Chains A and B, each alone.
Chain A
């Protein structure tokens, strides 16, 4: 028997051209899993520090890892210029020159978590995901310290890293907030 309510539901489904399904009619061909199944893949760090792993590292420890794993492309002291694409990790001109200014960690990045996240997912370029989390914290501390964004002896971990104040954080504009 058709009630107005079911008729409405049918009309709704038809109006989406048969591609929108009520939950019960959806193909449901995904295999249910748990968050612990995704643990190895679940590496995205949010700027408030959500999902940062356990562990910690200092600039001094980072300098050692850097010499072994990073310097071959990024040069001594993060100066860059050895491998194309492996740009400088230190310094950066003021952004007042607009598009003529090279974007760097120090002059541009809004969140220090981005540094940690990218090293962990993509570096070293020839062996991604091969660094221990402690090493990633240490490298992040080393790079932030080279840029004087943290003190020489500051230790980076899940608590301290999101608190690093990046100088360019407040210079971003949302031109189209309606797209979010």
Chain B
């Protein structure tokens, strides 16, 4: 087994789609809360093979997109401090804050560097002991343990010029907030594969039980997604709301205990602002007191004023799953991947960027 080609076989996929058509009677709306799912669903044309009464909607699954404009402004302020090197994953560079973007600051002379891993940021800190190297911690539970591991490595090695500006987010509190808000019409969740590799399935049990909403943890290949939808459809038809794992090869019910231990050694849950969703209690990650010397928020003065969303931008409604990009007047007119207005058009995993790339044909 190669763990790839088996899950991409078109003839098997069509049989799986036929099975969904044969079993699905009730109308259903399934939400994915992972940007990689958003892109995969478009890329493999999953919507096209589903019955008309089964709809797929995108939620707040793109980490860059859910980062509050205020947090982007803090990163911009950081980039303007002399002697600071800002390191980040690629997608963050182009996201507009209230007045500028990291890309723009870079063009004005700020030292902003794109890295593949936090360990690359740590290497930059080793090479430039005279500079302060800050990593922009953006991402969900898949990414946060890798940032925590880098902080631990910096502590062990005694690297003093490395810190993290944490905008990390936790997904289950956002799923709860979406459902408790009452405006979202959703019959089941396509739960994020690799987030669940880390956190395990326990937190979905509450979502399934409290809101009678089935949750299936799904992988990212076309057959994973179709099988996951088939499992959700079976639950809907039977009137059930359980937590199931489709992505068994990568997800154990208990998650990755080692990664969670590292994550919570360095971080603790905090209330956090989400773009479009507002402040959600205990949905973010802040560095613990013991790691204050690695916390950019404590090391630098990063106070910024509240900033409004760009006029006309519907990113907030899109992230809550209550509007699609096509219902935004800016989509494809003023807001394009070349000149993005909102973050959902910037990130390759953003809902607007995915609609723009795949749904014009």
Do A and B interact with each other, yes or no?
A: no
